[in-house]
Amino acid sequence: MEKGVVISGFGGQGVMLAGELLAEAGKEEGKYVTFLPSYGPEMRGGTANCHVIVSDTTIASPIIGYPKAAIVLNLPSLDKYEPLMKKDGIIIINKTLVPREVKRDDVRVLQIDAQHVAEDLGNKKVVNMILLGAYVEIEKPVKIETLKNALKSYLTGRKAELIEVNERALEKGAEIARDFMGVK
């Protein structure tokens, strides 16, 4: 199975870290992975996005033209990816920064008030991990445990103290996703 996701938001929201972490976890599980970041002027202050594919077989194109899953951290990202989503695809939205509803009715939508959830967890910066945790719980490209392990290779030195709150953020996201799936 090939599972691809687009993660998109402002530069500085941890879009790239979330994507790299997912790719690293996929690699840890012995899967094929590609991580394709946007780069260039659009990153200065503008939106940043990355395409991550995790697969059991070799991956052809690393580009996701029409996503089956998207993690959307800000409004411009929703505007950009909503029209491109595949039917029945899942959009996971950072509701705090996306003040509108999804217009399409043929996609699944999980809105998380992630900024506030992050504050409750004690660190405003873990929004990316909450949303990633939710995505991984729903689509299961990798195990949450592997993601948590992967954190250790990204948050080193002084940042090591952030591992714990990031782990909790992943778990919290997964929990929110489980509620969401239960409700559905």
Partner 1 sequence: MGEKLLMKGSEAIAEAAIRAGAMAFFGYPITPQNETPEYFSRRMPELGRVFLQAESEVAAINMVYGAACTGTRAITTSSSPGISLMQEGFSYIANTNVPCVVVNAMRGGPGLGDIAPAQADYFQATKGGGHGDYHSIVIAPHTVQEEADLMFDAFELADKYRIMVVVLVDGLLGQMMEPVEFKDWVDVKKFKTPEWATVGQGDRAQRNILISFDILAEGLEKMNLVLQNKYAKIRENEVRFEEYKMDDADYAITAFGTVARIAKTTIELARNEGIKIGLIRPITLYPFPEKVIENRASNVKFFFDTEMNEGQMLEDVKLAVNGKKPVYFHGRLGGIVPTAEEILDEFKKHLGG
80 binds partner 1 (CB under 8 A): no
Give 11 or 123: the residue with its C-beta nearer to partner 1: 11
List Cβ<8 Å contacts ≥24 apart for 40-43: 43/11
Q: Which residues pair with 2 in a beta bridge?
A: 55
83 binds partner 1 (CB under 8 A): no
Q: What are the CA-CA distances from residue 46 to residues 8, 12, 93 (Å)?
A: 11, 10, 18
45 binds partner 1 (CB under 8 A): no
Write the CB contacts of 103 (distance below 8 Å, at least 6 apart in sequence).
82
43 binds partner 1 (CB under 8 A): no
- Kindly state the smallest distance separating residue 10's Cβ from partner 1, in Å: 19
Count of residues engaged in binding partner 1, rule: CB under 8 A: 19
66 binds partner 1 (CB under 8 A): yes
152 binds partner 1 (CB under 8 A): no
Contact 148, 81 (CB under 8 A): no
Applying CB under 8 A, the residues found at the interface with partner 1 are 20, 23-24, 27, 32-37, 39-41, 60-63, 65-66
